[in-house]
Amino acid sequence: VDWNLEQHVNIAPSHPGLWTVGGALHGFAVDYHEASALRPEFAQTRRSVLADGFAQYDWTRTEQANVHLGLRAHYFSLGSYLHLSPRVRVRLFPDQHVTVHAGYSRNPQFLHRLALQTTSSADVWITSNERNAPSYANHVSTGLTVSPVPTMSVRVDAYYKVIDNVWQHETVTALRRSDVSVLFAPWSTDNRTVARGLELMHQQRLGAARWTNSYALSRVELQSDGLNGGEHFPTDWDRRHQFTSQLQVTHGAWTGALTGLYATGTPNPWAQWVDAEPERLNPYHRLDASLVYERALGDGVTFTVTASVFNLYDRANPWYRDPVAVLLRTGPRRRIGFRVVDVYDLGIQPAFNVSVRFGG
């Protein structure tokens, strides 16, 4: 259970710029219960409060630069953690054909999502506590945007991000764990990820059509003293190359879109145990389609109908690999063995949605 209250106030002083100040109060109630054949039964109940106070200053009344400064203070009751989150973002020559931007932010994370790799289950949420510290992310980015004509833009971004105290469930780390210590909880937090990458985006407007292409070259590595002998290794979600292309056409109240995605395969953790296993899974690619009808029915009332198809050509995309039991025949005898096989993402998936919104 997660409840929150938030209030902020915008202040426009006589000098240039806009101030935003405020605060937020979050309450978390988490009951975690796990029964596993690998460990004794584990149960945990946590109640916590997160209090935030923040201030932000935006200076955008100049042709030379836009500046955004922010500072947020956090207090988390379990462990009495008190932290500051600064943020700065600068954009030079915002109204010119070539603009340059750079930024830095530091953010703690007190609510963590645990993925269970070997179980068909929704993701699990757990909070930091006296024994397990929050995660901390330091993010640096820079880039530029080139717009030679109003109908076309090209953007280049580079980033470097380090996250300490990354939470992972033992079903994800079991294949790489090299120590034999018994975890006090079915998750580990002594993990550190380093992400870096280069992203390109091209956008072209052609009358009622908009064509957007993006490419990402990235690397995400994880390091932990208890995993892989303490050496850095690619995370399970690391994809070296990703390319997306979308064509969107709008005519009156109708908007149609085709979106294609291609990505190289993620690492295969079974490769270190089975010689015949590939280092990475096969590439991932699919085509999605959508059609939206949106119309205003009156003052503040909007009617929307959406039809979409996920994975239009029904591609069997590998999501991860997992061992399954099979019946093997050795001469006249039969025995139970295991084979590592692909677990696929969703196949073709149509969807339909109707909504009516009231208010602004």
What are the pLDDT digits (tens) for 94-146?
888 999 999 999 999 999 988 776 566 677 889 999 988 999 999 999 999 99
pLDDT in tens, 297-313: 888 899 999 999 999 99
One-letter amino acid of 118:
T
pLDDT at 180: 46
What count of other Cβ atoms lies within 10 Å of the Cβ of residue 217? Answer: 13
For the chain, the farthest-separated pair of C-alpha atoms sits apart, in whole angstroms, at 91
pLDDT in tens, 317-328: 998 888 888 887
pTM of the model: 0.83
How far apart CA 87 and CA 106 sit, in angstroms, is: 7
What count of other Cβ atoms lies within 10 Å of the Cβ of residue 109? Answer: 16
